Structure 1
Amino acid sequence: MSTLSKKSPLHDVHTELGARFTDVAGWSMPLCYASGPAEHHAVRTTAGIFDLTHLGEIELSGPEAGRALDHALAGEPSKAAVGRTSSSTLVHETGAVLDDLLVHRLAGQRYLVVANAANTLIVLSSLRDRIDGYAATIRDASGDWALIAVPGPKSPEIVSELADVDVPLLRYDAIGPARLADHDVLLARTGRTGEDGLEIYCRPQDAVPLWRAVSAAGAEHGLVPCGLACRDTLRREAGLPLYGRELTVRTTLFDPGPGRPSTAAGPDHFRREQP
C-alpha cells in the first residue's frame, strides 16, 4: 500500500485490533479484522462498529441553501425537515449517475452532504458550479469530522448507555447534536447495511475515545469491529446500490435496479432556468 495513503484518526486502533487494510480513494482503511463472514453475522444478529472517516462531507449554508440543493441534486432535499436525512443523487444532465449521497438538514438553511470518498472532489466541484447565483456558500468539511457507524439490532441499546438522548425514540433518518461519552457529536439514525443503526459524526480528536467507549459498552452485547468488506456484503444483501458497484456513469436514474437512491429527476433537470 502506498505510504502516501491518508490515515483515519483511528488507524492505530485498527492496527492494534489486527485489521487488514485496503486503499479506498487514497485512504488506508480496514478491509476486515478476524473474519469478514463473522463480522457480517455480528451486524445481522448483534452489532458491529465501523470506521467511515474516509467518506466526504460538504457543508452548504446561506439563505438559499435549500433551493440551491434542490436545483443541484435529484429529488428535493429541502423538503426534509430540520434534523432529518434524505437520500439524493448527483446526476449529469443526461441522467447519468455521478454519485449517490446522503443530505443531512442540520438547521433551517444548513445542510451536510455526505459523498463517497472517491467522488468528494467531483461532488464539491459540481455543486459549486450548480449553486452559482444562489445565496449559498459551500465548503469541504471533510476535515471537520471522523465518522463511526454502529449498525445492528443491538446498536440502539449500546449507544443509549453512552448518550444524553433517548436513542430508541430517535426515528430513522433523524440527526442532531448529542453528548456521547462526554463528547459533543452529531448522532444520526442512518446507515447502509439494511439494519437499524447509528452513525456518529465527531471531531477527529474525539474518535479514539469514542470508539473505545462504544466498544466497551458493546462488549457484553457481542459488538465486534467490522471492516469495509462486510459493509459491502451487508448492503448488497439488503439490495442497496452503491456508486462504483451497481451505480456508475453508465447508470441513469431511469434504469431498473436494486432500489432507488433518490427521487428521479427529468433529463432536463439541470437545464432549467434558475427561478
Structure 2
Amino acid sequence: MELKTPLYDTHVKYGGKMVPFAGYLLPVQYQGVIEEHMAVRTQAGLFDVSHMGEVLVKGKDALANLNEIMTNDFTNMVEGQARYSPMCNEKGGTVDDLIVYKYNDECYLIVVNAANREKDFQWMKSHETGEAVFEDISDEVAQIALQGPKSLEILQKIAGAEDIPEKYYHAVFHAKAAGIPCLISQTGYTGEDGFEIYLASKDAPAMWEALMEAGREEGLIPCGLGARDTLRLEAAMPLYGHEMDENVNPIEAGLGFAVKRKKESFIGKEFLPTKDELTRKRVGLKVTGRGIIREEAEIYDGDKKIGFSTSGTHCPYLGYPIAMAFLDIDYTEAGTKVTAIVRGRKVEAEVVPTPFYKKPEKN
C-alpha cells in the first residue's frame, strides 16, 4: 500500500490528481502539465518532494565515509554548502545520485531519491567505517520545492534576508519562513532559479499555505509530477531509473564533473572508464520527424542499432519533442541524424547539445 506524504490532504484540497509514485501517493497534476510547466518557466510553481529521503552522517570520520562511498570530493566544502554526487557500486555502476549538505566537520545531510531510500541507506550502513554513523531521518522530514523566476520574490515575503541563501547550492540550516523553523537551500530540479525547503513533517501544510498565499500576486500555482518530469527533461537533468542505474556508470551518463579521480580511493573507482575509453554516452535528441520518442525506443543509423532512448516528451516551453538516449560513441556528435523506432514506426531525430533549455541570463 502506498504511503502518504504530510501534504496528501493539501493536494486533495487543491484538486491534485493523485497517483502512486516511488511508494507514495503524489499529485501527477492539478490544472494540467502544460500550464504547470509554463508557470515554472515564467512565474513560479510549488512542488511536494517529501517523498525524497534524508540521511544524516555524524562523527569525526563522517567526511572520510562520504569520500569513500561517493565519487565527488567533499573535502573543501564550507559549512552551508551543498554538493551533488553519484554513488557507485564496486563495478562502477550507479547506486544513486544524491546531494550532500555540510552542517559542520562532523555532520552532513544526504538527500537521496525516494525509490532508492532503503537501498541507499543499507548501502551506506554496510560501508560505515570508523567513528561515523548513518541515520535515516526521512520520516521526520518534509520537503517543498519553490521553483521559477519569481521564487525569490515570493520567499522574501515570508523569510528574512538572513534566512535565504545567496548562492546556488548553498543552504541556511537554521532558517525560518512564515515563522516555521526550516532548512532553506538554493537548489532544484527544474532548470530554473528556486529553493527547496526542508522542515518537520507536521509543519508542511502550514508552510505550503503560507507560500501559496505569498505567491498569489506572482502567479504561483501548485505543480505535480508531470510538470516536474517535463521540466527536468528540458533541462537535461538525469533521473535515476532512466538515465542512471546500477548498470550505467557516471561517466557515460554525463556526470564526470562529479567524479574526482584524484581522490586516493572511492568505491568503483577502478572500473570507471576515462573519456577515451567510453563506448557510449548520454546525448540529447531533438525530434525532427513526426512523433514523440519515449523511453526504451531503439535508435538506429540506417539498419544498424546504435542505442536506446531513456526519457522523452513533448516540451511545452520549447514547443517540440525531445529525448535523452544512450548512443554508441561514434554517433554522439551534435548534428548526427538518427532514427527511433516508436511502436513500429520510424521517427527521425538529431543529436543536439544539452541542456535543451537554459534559463535566460539576468540583466
TM-score by length of 1: 0.92
Distance of 1:138 and 1:238 partners within structure 2 = 32
* Structure 1 residue 260 displacement after superposition: 5.0
Residue from 14, 23, 26 that aligns with 2:23: 26
The one-letter code sitting in structure 1 at the alignment partner of 2:3 is: K
More displaced, 95-104 or 158-167?
Answer: 158-167
Q: Take 2:73 and 2:260, find their aligned partners in 1: how far apart are those partners? A: 10
1:181 to 170, 173, 178: 178
Measure how far apart 1:85 and its partner are.
Answer: 0.4
AA partner of residue 194 (structure 1): G
- 1:75 aligned residue (68, 72, 77): 72
* Matched AA of 2:5: S
Q: Report which structure shows greater RCO (CA 8 Å, sep ≥6).
A: 1
1:247 and 2:237 correspond: no
Change (3 A) 1:167 1:153: farther
Choose the corresponding residue for 1:101, options 67, 79, 98: 98
Q: Which structure 1 residue ranges, 5 or more long, are not aligned?
A: none
Relative to its length, the structure with more strand (as a share) is 2
Describe the SS at the equivalent of 1:100: strand
Aligned amino acid, residue 31 of structure 2: A
Aligned equivalents of 2:154 and 2:163: distance in 1?
9
Which secondary structure state, in structure 1, belongs to the residue aligned with residue 208 of structure 2? helix
CA contact (8 A) 1:160 1:167 kept: no
Q: Which has the higher helix share?
A: 1
Q: Does 1:172 align with 2:148?
A: no
Partner SS, residue 94 of structure 1: coil
Task: Give how far 1:241 is off.
Answer: 0.8
Equivalent of residue 150 in structure 1, options 131, 146, 149: 146
Write the letter of the residue equivalent to 2:140.
Answer: D
Deviations 1:217-248 (A, max 9, x none): 00100011000111111111001111112112
The number of residue pairs the alignment matches comes to: 267
Q: CA-atom RMSD, angstroms?
A: 1.9
Structure 2: runs of 5+ lacking an equivalent: 270-363
Give the Cα–Cα distance (whole angstroms) in 2 for the partners of residues 260 and 238 of structure 1: 17
Contact 1:89 1:261 in 2 (8 A): no
Correspondence 1:139 to 2:96: no
Aligned mate of 2:218, from 216, 221, 224: 221
Counterpart residue identity of residue 106, structure 1:
Y
Residues 69, 78 of structure 1: 8 Å contact kept: no
* Aligned counterpart, 2:13: 16
Name the counterpart of 1:110: 107
Superposed CA deviations along residues 145-184 of structure 1, whole A, max 9, x for unmatched, are 1000001000011001100235676111111221110110
2:48 pairs with 1:51: yes
**Displacement, 1:261?**
7.0
Q: CA distance change for structure 1 residues 117 and 18 in 2, over 3 Å: closer, same or farther?
A: same
- Report the CA distance between 1:108 and its aligned residue: 2.3
Q: In structure 2, the residue corresponding to 1:221 is in which secondary structure?
A: coil
- 8 Å Cα contact 1:74-1:263 kept in structure 2: yes
- Alpha-carbon distance, 1:19 to partner: 0.7
Amino acid at match of 1:103: V
Offset of 1:250 from its aligned partner?
2.1
